[in-house]
Amino acid sequence: MRDEVTFLREMLEIYSPSGQEGEISAYLVARMREMGFRAYQDGAGNAVGILGEGERDLMLLGHMDTVEGLIPVRLQEGRLYGRGAVDAKGPLAAFILAAARVGPVPGWRIVVVGAVEEESSSRGARYLLGRFFPQAVIIGEPSGWEGIALGYKGRLRVLYRLSAPVRHSAAEGPSAAEEAVGFWNRLVQYASEQNRGERFRFHTLDPTLHKITTRNGGFEEEVAMDITLRLPPGTDIPALKAQLRAWAGEAAVGFCGEDEPFRAEKNTSLVRAFLRAIRAYGGTPTFKLKLGTSDMNTVGPVWRCPVVAYGPGDSRLDHTPQEHIDLEEFQKAIGVVENVIREFTVKN
């Protein structure tokens, strides 16, 4: 157990915010080679480790980048603190350690990937598309060791900008800032109308205003907003974009960070393997639908194979200053993934 915890601790001690994964990628490649993987850094900077020579792939896709914010790494009362402990170096470490326990399986390649830029653009996951064609995928995200995540909401980032001549405060008509506030209020009202009667947040449209800034240059005033929309299944994204442009009037509206909602099939051999593995460790399996996004949104619609998201950790600690992982849960998750790999590769 000590060596496994040390492995995770060393991962946490390498600060790797999205876009700065070079050091941890090199570290993981070296460690995976020590564990018997054929390991390398691919063209995107992903750390890839492969066990076996088979024609079928079981993909364990985690990510090694984190959000910004350095948290001193420390072990306290059975909890390991550090940026990425939950999201998502803990799940990735569990994947690597579980696969190493199993070793090569006849007829299969066990592929473990520490992807880059999951927290920003999913560039690492996108690089894998067309290069791998797995029979099943496990996404490394915190679900709790008894939880199995089957879906993630979509996401659309909206960038609003309006410039207008400076006007006297006594003049008629709205200022640029008031126009921007009107756009935001219209969006919030629209979401409220769409969500009426819906109690389950996986099926609601949720806008968040991250930032609004104004600037007065003497002759021109400018206002900018950065908005994220969390999208429920069934969202017509092109129609939503058209509606936002119409509401914006003279303002410029741009879009980025677009991820379609995705929900995986529940009745698959991969899900059944997880149910049995969690019960074997005395757990009660629960299914989850997550309100954020993950690399499942990127690879699920393309690979069209059985997929779940799984990993130790409490997702409520994602991105927080208190991020930590319970080491007993970490150990159980390693065992669960190990059992899943063994069962899935034997029965499929």
The catalytic residue positions are 65, 118
CA dist 85 and 317 (Å) reads: 9
- In angstroms, the first-to-last Cα distance of the chain is 31
In the chain, DSSP assigns E strands to 38-41, 47-51, 56-63, 74-76, 79-81, 108-115, 136-140, 147-152, 154-165, 206-216, 220-231, 252-259, 262-263, 286-290, 307-310, 324-326
User: Can you tell me whether residue 285 is helix, strand or coil?
Assistant: coil
Of 151, 181, 179, nearest in space to 165 by CA: 179
Q: Can you tell me the distance from the alpha carbon of 13 to that of 33, in angstroms, rounded to the nearest whole number?
A: 20
Residue 227 C-beta-side C-alpha neighbours within 13 Å = 23
CB neighbour class for 113 (10 Å; exposed up to 12, middle 13-18, buried from 19): buried
DSSP letters along 113-133, please?
Answer: EEES-TTTT-HHHHHHBTTB-
How far apart CA 89 and CA 11 sit, in angstroms, is 7
